[in-house]
């Protein structure tokens, strides 16, 4: 079984969140033999994370989801950079799902905890895209659970215009990450 909660699209640069751990453990060659490489090339390390906005690509991303393609198309007219980041994210998630499918034994299960978001007024249905991608790879849905997030450590508000995190005082604020979805799929 695989249980994971991947990054949410354009939420954070996850490498930045892990930088302190990398610095603490990076020189411990006994238990973290290869981590020092990432300290020496942190920008290269950052570019490998799922959905990073730092990655530049000239090739067509493989989305494997008509829902995802529509979201990307809608975002292009609003902000091309965000559209590219979302395309990278969906492509990276598709690669991750393919790897999960590859390593799971027949009848193996995967549980993915993921949330939707809104960017530039566009509903980015990460959960629906993930389900479609996984089904297109060969997974079968077992159970899809919608769960309300009642208490968050970070702000649940984003600016309605640009999608960045914001506070209660912003008149354009929109609530995000009110729900998360648990997608249970089977190989």
Rounded to two decimals, the pTM is 0.76
Q: 């980015």: which residue's tokens?
A: 124
Task: Output phi, psi for 128, to 5 deg.
Answer: -70, -40
What are the beta bridge partners of residue 186? 109, 140
Asked which of 92-96, 107-111, 134-138, 173-177 is least confident by mean pLDDT, the reply is 173-177
pLDDT in tens, 60-95: 789 999 999 999 999 999 988 888 888 989 998 999
The pLDDT > 90 percentage for the chain reads 41
Nearest C-alpha neighbor of 161 from the set 151, 152, 171: 171
Is the pLDDT at 146 greater than 70, yes or no? yes
Domain residue ranges in the chain:
2-10+50-186
Asked which of 21-30, 97-106, 167-176 is least confident by mean pLDDT, the reply is 21-30
């Amino acid at each position: 079984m695989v249980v994971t909660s991947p990054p949410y699209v354009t939420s954070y640069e996850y490498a930045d969140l892990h930088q302190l751990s990398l610095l603490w453990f990076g020189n411990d060659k006994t238990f973290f033999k290869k981590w020092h490489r990432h300290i020496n090339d942190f920008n290269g390390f950052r570019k490998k994370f799922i959905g990073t906005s730092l990655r530049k690509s000239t090739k067509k991303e493989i989305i494997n989801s008509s829902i995802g393609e529509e979201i990307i198309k809608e975002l292009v007219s609003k902000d091309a950079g965000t559209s590219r980041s979302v395309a990278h994210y969906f492509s990276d998630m598709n690669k991750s799902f393919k790897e999960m499918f590859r390593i799971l034994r027949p009848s193996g299960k995967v549980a993915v905890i993921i949330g939707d978001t809104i960017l530039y007024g566009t509903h980015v249905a990460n959960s629906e895209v993930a389900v479609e991608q996984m089904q297109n790879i060969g997974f079968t849905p077992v159970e899809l659970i919608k769960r309300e997030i009642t208490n968050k450590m970070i702000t649940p508000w984003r600016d309605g215009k640009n999608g960045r995190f914001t506070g209660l005082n912003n008149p354009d604020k929109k609530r995000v990450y009110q729900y998360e979805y648990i997608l249970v799929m089977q190989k």
